[in-house]
Structure 1
Amino acid sequence: MAKTIVTTIIKGIQEKKGENIISIDLRKIQDAVCDYFIVCDAPSTTQVKAIADNVMRLTEEEMGEKPWHHEGTQRAEWVLLDYVDTVVHIFLTPQRKFYQLEELWSDGVIEEHNA
């Protein structure tokens, strides 16, 4: 189940030209908050919002899944979409460089998904 939603989320990000797309497989990390993180960035808040909207639309249309929780859509500097087993982080480019989320979870298996 989780791998399928990961594929759908990545497709949604790619359709709206998200940049530096990675997935982090956290399943082998004890006490990880979820199975997968998907992380990407975009150069404008407009694009961050468009990516988030497209991911939510696509996961609902193709999988019947809505995020359990989402936040950050108003400011669109760091949008979080929580699908329970998979959490999506869509950053404005400077925020991604500042928070370096992938460094915090570097014990996970990181895979790049740039088209």
Structure 2
Amino acid sequence: MKAEKIKDLALNALDDLKARDVITLDVREMTDVTDFMVICTGTSNRHVKSLADNVALDLKHKGCQAMGIEGVDHSSEWALVDFGEVVVHVMLPDTREFYDLERLWSVPAA
């Protein structure tokens, strides 16, 4: 499955469970590790877990198995679902602000 399709399916799965502040970063020019990062916020530890689980399960049903899933225990502040070409990060608001992945992976001004 192509990266764009995986990204779109992940965005739909996050929307289904009301993920907040969802953004997509195109990092193809910055790294060979992945093509897209999807970053969103969950409202509680349980919401973070539910969002990550829903993305993994929804895409699995559509033929795209996650390569790895991290941080989906009940006390998680940050969960990650890795589909290779697309990596989904689900974080609590304070965790997202602290790590500021958007700034870290933003394209530098020319």
Is the pair's TM-score, using the shorter chain for normalization, greater than 0.5? Answer: yes
Match of 2:20 in 1: 19
Deviation at 1:32? 4.1
Unpaired segments of 5 or more residues in structure 2? Answer: none
> 3-state DSSP class of the match of 2:89?
strand
Matched, 1:36 2:24: no
> 3-state DSSP class of the match of 1:87?
strand
> 3-state DSSP class of the match of 2:65?
coil
Q: Which amino acid aligns with 2:69?
A: H
In the superposition, the TM-score normalised over structure 2's length comes to: 0.91
Deviation at 1:57? 1.2
CA distance in 1, matches of 2:28, 2:70: 24
Structure 1 stretches of 4+ moved >2 Å: none
Residues 43-83 of structure 1, C-alpha deviations (whole Å, 9 max, x = no match): 10111111111101110112x11211111111321001111
Unpaired segments of 5 or more residues in structure 1? Answer: 109-115
Listed as ranges, the matches of 1:49-68 within 5 Å are 49-62=49-62, 64-68=63-67
Q: Quick one: higher RCO (CA 8 Å, sep 6+), 1 or 2?
A: 1
- Aligned CA RMSD, in angstroms, stands at 1.3
Percent identical among aligned pairs is 33
Match of 1:69 in 2: 68
> 3-state DSSP class of the match of 2:25?
strand
Higher-strand-fraction structure:
1
Match of 1:100 in 2: 100
CA distance in 2, matches of 1:70, 1:90: 11
CA distance in 2, matches of 1:21, 1:94: 15
CA distance in 2, matches of 1:24, 1:32: 14
